[in-house]
Structure 1
């Protein structure tokens, strides 16, 4: 029980620290959200109009008072109202969460479907031509940023070949496939290398040599012992990827006009929308913390040695 209390206190302090740092950084940006709002509307405000707008937004208060008002609202379940869209921040996050979840699931499925088979095959054929091709392809995939992959896919399939729609309009496969591939390619390259490396390490362990000496088939050795053990180091890496995707892949979403959280973050920053920025950063921090706890629990289930060590 004490460990759980300490963990909860740690999470609360971490979220509080993230909110303080984010709040200070947004206000150090220099430009006024009221001015950004008028500029978005194509209006050149007078000093009186600007002062009135800042008063309505609560920007005429001290920094400490503004933060306390925001924190008080958060403790009551109110993340405030967006300056940019004049909607509740929580509603905006929820409405943009669905596309982000779809994109996250599809890109992860594509990544795992490619990375695991190629990584295993490359490890079991070390030094052969196919292994060299896989290693080179993985290195190339890691070196190319996801936004470059996105631009290439956008030009090839949406403009040149005209096979897929240019703009996102609904939750259909043909509109999500390109941004999902753009995110999956760099991840698949990284995970393929990880699977290959861990598989090679496991294949040289003593228990593999012992199993071979006892006459256990290579198929059983590979899929019953080596493969499950090689996946354990990938759990932490997978947790980071899931947290990053659920937080929003901003550049890829901007390229494909995808209405996810990443796109919303960029809009909020450009408009100096303080409540929306604060709400999004808080949400992303919560996602990372939750995913980290889930991964930690899965690791303890998958590896009894970790569970026993922590129980001591």
Structure 2
């Protein structure tokens, strides 16, 4: 961490009171630094030996030969400056080499502020004394002491910037939108005084920067405000609608993983067979079917004709979740199956797979120990992106089955436009997708040892 300047400075800022006092002690220690004394002695010995005159003559001769080779005139001032620079570099290098050699023999360590502070951190009394004023600094040190925690922490910090950027962009679009929230809600019969009162009550008459600041402040304090319609708390509304969206998304994901990954592996291992063509044809159909049409067909057949399943979602009837899960999971299953097949086909033709077979490993060992793990990276990417999208709300599926989820909530609010509700929905989606991306990155490291190795080198 010390090698990375950005975090080094952050460490100094977070522990400023401690570093200020430590720096005073370091200055007093530096005066009695044995290494500095050795450095000065070595430098003085080099100067006294007259070796600088030898170097000066040598560099002067080289410079004159160089200028003669290129047919250039020798300029005394430029030559002296060049010789001086080269001599200083050589002297510095020789002095440090000799000083380090002598220091190793005497067991002396070079004293820098970083090494001095690190030596203090090894003392329990110093940690106990400075724990409270330096708690943020120590927390940062603990985070960066573990490469995996550091990796997750940095991804979360990046997510904060992403959420802030998305918030600013969406708010700006809503601000520039031609829709008038007051006119849409109060109706055509609303007077100018009523519209002005509505705008003043909700802060819509403020300048752009003031409204943006209020919105960002509300997001930072988790106070998303009240929606324009019904005056309901936005955070509470989203929290109430989140569980059903999560349940549908998780069951759709399980359906895709259980069906798609085995299908993709079978298709890849039996390429161009009847099974391969059949599975991929079904997957292509699954990708091509629109959600709203599939949902309506399901309702027509399984609800109206056969009367097996309820047509709309009801929290009291667990059977009502089956059709939404299947409809939402169909596209995900098809996408994952095709990606699994493509990824497996690419991996099983690699040289190391052929080598494993040549060593006598049977097909099952090669498949599960070598092929599947390496093929999972693009599969995880597709699953993560689609799952994040589903957690953001599948508005079409929710509308078809009358599910009061996040997707339908955002769609209903955007035509007003209900700015607090839309901002709340957007922040929810941004946070959800950011967390899913962090989870994807962690799964990358779990399946691929090369990524784990890179993480440890950070």
TM-score, scaled to structure 2: 0.64
Matched, 1:227 2:372: yes
Contact 1:142 1:186 in 2 (8 A): yes
Specify every segment of 5 or more residues in structure 1 that has no aligned partner in the other structure, as ranges.
none
**Alpha-carbon distance in 1 for matches of 2:337, 2:346:** 14
Contact 1:99 1:171 in 2 (8 A): no
Shift of 1:171: 5.5
**Alpha-carbon distance in 2 for matches of 1:30, 1:47:** 17
**Residue of structure 1 in register with 2:147 after alignment:** none
Contact 1:84 1:271 in 2 (8 A): no
Matched, 1:253 2:412: no
Contact 2:373 2:448 in 1 (8 A): no
Contact 2:332 2:383 in 1 (8 A): no
* Map 1:203-222 → 2, pairs under 5 A: 203-222=348-367
Q: Deviations over 1:162-218 (max 9, x none)?
A: 221122221643111111111111111111111111112222222322232232222
Contact 1:253 1:260 in 2 (8 A): yes
Q: Deviations over 1:226-269 (max 9, x none)?
A: 22222222111111112111111111111111111001111111
**Alpha-carbon distance in 2 for matches of 1:192, 1:7:** 29
Higher-Rg member (1/2): 2
**Residue of structure 2 in register with 1:177 after alignment:** 322
Q: Deviations over 1:49-89 (max 9, x none)?
A: 22222221221222221121222222222111111231111
**Alpha-carbon distance in 2 for matches of 1:213, 1:61:** 73
Contact 1:198 1:230 in 2 (8 A): yes
Higher alpha-carbon deviation: 245-254 or 61-70: 61-70
- CA separation of 1:116 and 1:256: change in aligned 2, threshold 3 A: same
TM-score, scaled to structure 1: 0.92
Contact 2:410 2:425 in 1 (8 A): yes
**Residue of structure 2 in register with 1:112 after alignment:** 257
Higher relative contact order (CA 8 A, sep 6+): 1
**Residue of structure 2 in register with 1:81 after alignment:** 226
**Alpha-carbon distance in 2 for matches of 1:95, 1:83:** 18
Matched, 1:163 2:311: no
Matched, 1:11 2:11: no
**Residue of structure 2 in register with 1:303 after alignment:** 448
**Alpha-carbon distance in 2 for matches of 1:168, 1:56:** 37
Paired residues, number? 309
Q: Deviations over 1:267-303 (max 9, x none)?
A: 1112311001011101111111111111112212221
Contact 2:180 2:416 in 1 (8 A): no
Q: 1:24 aligns with which of 158, 162, 172?
A: 172
**Alpha-carbon distance in 2 for matches of 1:225, 1:55:** 65
**Alpha-carbon distance in 1 for matches of 2:314, 2:280:** 37
Task: State the superposition RMSD in angstroms.
Answer: 2.0
